[in-house]
């Protein structure tokens, strides 16, 4: 496919707001795309080069793209920068200069989608001394050889502002499939390739590729748990870092992924280099909770202390200060055989045969029961031990990614009353309001947060309470990198709740409140009473934010 023809589809998508119409356009695009290019078309339509866990990035910041534009069209950088400040869109800036350069708006380029994708991959993989200048030159050369419409979209890709307003879920709808395969192999390009090849049935977990994690829903009544789930396994809930461990013995490969499928350098958790001594398998994928241990008092530390292990530069010292224990509670694959469709109790039994319990790896204790009172008693027991109570799991449940069905649930202390918020929420920071009074010096007073409803992100509340001065500085620094001149296409916000600065969806924060109330101001139709900021959720991504369905379940409304 010529890239110009692809760019015409992107232009249609940019002008379309309706999700149904976007899906129809994508369906048409995929039908016209060959099997050899479908992966590249899907990636580029989402503004990426590869799935997130592969970490293949162009690493071209806005200033570098501006330099590429100036170089491509022989313009003074100050002029490019001035127009960019006025328009806020490097794609439109590049398109304008390209049209003048070619003496017409769409001087056709012979480059194909594959040509452009290959050149972008080459730029992304260029590293080492002098790589910044080389990247700028290569990107400039690519822009110069493209027509002006194509330039609009290619120039937006490095800065993450393609602005088409759809996600992987819409792509799956356009491909005519559900999300089961994507959950097992969260590589949307690879999935599209399988669909085109009629090989979707072949999919299974693979060493080195993360699986979308199974997540716990929320129920406050132990009687309701048994009613919905039948026989259950009751286990302690640890305040740790969700970690997936992939191990292959033949080359001593150890891959580590967070719950939002980001890869972690093995040097962050060097104790896992000895993993082979504790595993009785040649290949295995484990679902675990990494919990920090206080070596002096021999008890678990809280989440904030545990996560310090990811931030410390002096790993050797931090390993002594906060040694980790990996609580093993599930496994997805052993020696090439997938276990995601096996009952939970079968997966647990296999764990006992394959894991050597010790200071590094420890299989969670569990109790099988159909008695609601057993759940209550164990919940109180674990709370007294300083843990977070219990996680309750359907004994015969398969490994189902996300919060589908009642397979895993978290137990909370209070029985929720109607409208009362009996749990915390993981919200997406949509933007912020410039501070007043004492907070003016920080440039941030309150943040606007929202939650997901399908592909839409809708406003829920403004939060200022609980933000310390240190946190104001930290959040402002993060949001500066996510700043958007316009409201992102997937957002919905009413005019009296427009923040001073929009932020692209990326930062997740944990919020609590007294209760939930009906609201005409917020696009969600609901809002929080007396909201309070708790912490940044380093371990969660946008796809793990609280959904509208979950919010209603939490509040019993």
Whole-structure pTM value: 0.77
Q: Judge if 509 and 378 occupy the same domain.
A: no
Establish if 179 belongs to a structural domain: no
> What is the reported pLDDT for 105?
56
Q: 298 or 417, which is more confident?
A: 298
313 and 450 fall within a common domain: no
pLDDT at 495: 80
* Domain match, 256 and 395 both: yes
> 264 and 357 share a domain?
yes
User: What pLDDT score was predicted for residue 308?
Assistant: 61
- 382 and 503 both lie in a single domain: no
pLDDT digits (tens, 9 = 90+) for 323-338: 788 999 999 999 999 9
Q: Does the structure show a pLDDT above 60 at 300? A: yes
Query: Are both 430 and 470 inside the same structural domain?
Result: yes
Asked if residue 78 is part of any domain, the answer here is yes
DSSP SS3 for 337: strand
> 164 pLDDT band (50/70/90 cuts)?
confident
- Shared-domain flag, residues 367 and 429: no
**Residue 551 belongs to a domain with what CATH number?**
2.40.50.140
Domain shared by 402 and 485, yes or no = no
Q: What's the whole-number average pLDDT of the chain?
A: 88
Tell me: pLDDT of 316 over 60: no
- What is the tens place of the pLDDT at every residue in 456-479? 899 999 999 999 888 998 999 999
DSSP H or E stretch at residue 242: strand 241-248
CB atoms inside a 10 Å sphere around CB 271: 16
Q: What pLDDT score does 397 carry?
A: 95
More confidently predicted of 25 and 551: 25
CB 291, CB 238: distance < 8 Å: yes
With cut-offs at 50, 70 and 90, classify the pLDDT of residue 417.
Answer: very low
Least confident span in 131-145, 186-200, 288-302 = 288-302
For position 301, what pLDDT does the model report? Answer: 64
Active site residues: 237
Residue 413: other Cβ atoms inside 10 A: 11
The answer on pLDDT for 422 being more than 80 is no
Length reported for the chain: 557
Give a yes or no: residue 237 inside a domain: yes
Residues 6+ apart with CB under 8 A from 341: 398, 399
Find the domain containing 319 and state its range. Answer: 217-411
77 alpha carbon, distance to own chain's centre: 35
pLDDT confidence of residue 419: 44
CATH number at residue 346: 3.30.470.30
Q: Please say which residue of 128, 154, 180 terminates a domain.
A: 154
* Gyration radius of the chain over CA positions: 25
pLDDT of residue 175: 96
Whether residues 224 and 281 share a domain: the answer is yes
Examine the pLDDT at 414 and tell me if it is beyond 50.
no
Specify whether 443 is located in the same domain as 473: yes
Count of structural domains within the chain: 3
Domain membership flag for residue 429: yes
Query: Which of 364, 380, 411 is the C-terminal boundary of a domain?
Result: 411
| pLDDT tens digits, one per residue of 319-377 | 666 778 899 999 999 999 999 999 999 999 999 999 999 889 999 899 999 999 999 99
Domain-embedded: residue 192: no
The HSE-up count of residue 135 (CA atoms within 13 Å, CB side) is 23
pLDDT at position 88: 84
Please tell me the predicted confidence (pLDDT) of residue 160. Answer: 82
User: Can you give 362-412 as a three-state secondary structure string?
Assistant: EECCCEEECCHHHHHHHHHHHHHCCCCCEEEEECCCCCCCECCCCCEEEEC
Whether 363 and 459 map to the same domain: the answer is no
CA atoms within a 13 Å half-sphere pointing along the CA-CB vector of 38: 24
Q: Domain boundary residue among 154, 172, 188?
A: 154
Asked whether residue 171 is assigned to any structural domain, the reply reads: no
Q: Which long-range contacts (CB under 8 A, 24 or more apart) does 171-177 make?
A: 171/26, 171/42, 171/45, 171/46, 173/23, 174/23, 174/24, 174/26, 174/27, 174/29, 174/30, 175/30, 176/27
- The pLDDT score that the predictor gives to residue 107 is 56
Confidence label for 418 from pLDDT (cuts 50, 70 and 90) = very low
Q: Does residue 333 lie within any of the structural domains?
A: yes
185 alpha-carbon distance from chain centroid: 14
CA distance 65 to 83: 13
Within a domain: 311:
yes
Rounded CA separation 268/270 (Å): 6
Least confident of 125-129, 293-297, 406-410: 293-297
What CATH number does the domain containing 79 carry?
Answer: 1.10.3260.10
pLDDT at position 330 is: 95
Q: Mind listing the pLDDT tens digit for each residue in 209-267?
A: 999 999 888 787 899 999 999 999 999 998 888 999 999 999 999 999 988 888 888 88
Residue 275 and residue 131 share a domain: no
């Amino acid at each position: 496919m010529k890239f110009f023809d692809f760019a015409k589809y992107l232009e249609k998508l940019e002008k379309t707001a309706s999700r149904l119409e976007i899906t129809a356009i994508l369906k048409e695009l995929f039908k016209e795309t060959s099997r050899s290019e479908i992966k590249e078309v899907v990636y580029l339509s989402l503004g990426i080069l590869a799935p997130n866990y592969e970490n293949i990035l162009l690493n071209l910041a806005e200033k570098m793209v501006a330099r590429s534009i100036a170089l491509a069209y022989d313009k003074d950088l100050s002029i490019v920068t001035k127009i960019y400040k006025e328009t806020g869109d490097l794609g439109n800036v590049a398109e304008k200069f390209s049209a003048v350069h070619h003496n017409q708006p769409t001087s056709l380029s012979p480059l194909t989608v594959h040509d452009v994708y290959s050149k972008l991959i080459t730029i992304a993989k260029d590293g080492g001394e002098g790589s910044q200048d080389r990247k700028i030159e290569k990107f400039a050369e690519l822009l110069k050889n493209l027509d002006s419409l194509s330039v609009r979209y290619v120039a937006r890709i490095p800065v993450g502002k393609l602005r088409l307003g759809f996600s992987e879920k819409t792509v799956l709808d356009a491909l005519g499939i559900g999300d089961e395969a994507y959950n097992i192999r969260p590589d949307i390009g690879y999935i599209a390739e399988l669909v085109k090849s009629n090989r979707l049935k072949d999919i299974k977990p693979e060493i080195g590729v993360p699986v979308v994690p199974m997540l716990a829903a929320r129920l406050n009544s132990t009687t309701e748990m048994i009613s919905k789930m039948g026989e259950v396994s009751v286990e302690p809930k640890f305040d740790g870092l969700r970690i997936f461990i992939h191990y292959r013995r033949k080359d001593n490969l150890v891959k580590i992924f967070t719950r939002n499928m980001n890869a972690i350098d093995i040097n962050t958790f060097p104790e896992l280099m000895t993993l082979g001594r504790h595993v009785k398998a040649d290949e295995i994928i484990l679902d675990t909770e990494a919990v920090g241990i206080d070596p002096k008092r021999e008890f678990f530390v809280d989440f904030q202390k545990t996560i310090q292990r990811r931030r410390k530069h002096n790993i050797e010292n931090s390993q002594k200060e906060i040694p980790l224990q990996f609580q093993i509670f599930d496994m997805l694959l052993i020696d090439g055989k997938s276990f995601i469709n096996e009952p939970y109790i079968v997966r647990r039994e296999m764990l006992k045969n394959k894991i050597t319990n010790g200071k590094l790896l420890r299989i969670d204790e569990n109790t099988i029961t159909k008695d609601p009172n057993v759940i209550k008693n164990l919940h109180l027991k674990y709370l007294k031990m300083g843990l977070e109570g219990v996680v309750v799991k359907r004994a015969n449940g398969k490994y189902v990614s996300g919060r589908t069905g009642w397979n895993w649930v978290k137990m909370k202390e209070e029985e929720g009353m109607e409208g009362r918020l009996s749990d915390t929420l993981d919200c997406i920071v949509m933007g912020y309001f410039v501070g007043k009074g004492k907070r003016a010096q920080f440039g941030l007073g309150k943040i606007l947060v929202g939650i997901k409803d399908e592909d839409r992100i809708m406003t829920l509340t403004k939060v200022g309470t609980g933000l310390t001065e240190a946190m104001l500085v930290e959040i402002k620094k993060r949001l500066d990198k996510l700043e958007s001149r316009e409201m992102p296409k997937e957002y919905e916000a009413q005019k009296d709740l427009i923040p001073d600065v929009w932020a692209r969806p990326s930062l997740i924060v944990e919020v609590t409140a007294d209760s939930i109330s009906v609201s005409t101001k917020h696009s969600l139709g609901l809002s929080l009473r007396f909201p309070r900021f708790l912490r940044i959720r380093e371990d969660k991504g946008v796809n793990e934010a609280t959904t509208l369905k979950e919010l209603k379940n939490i509040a019993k409304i």
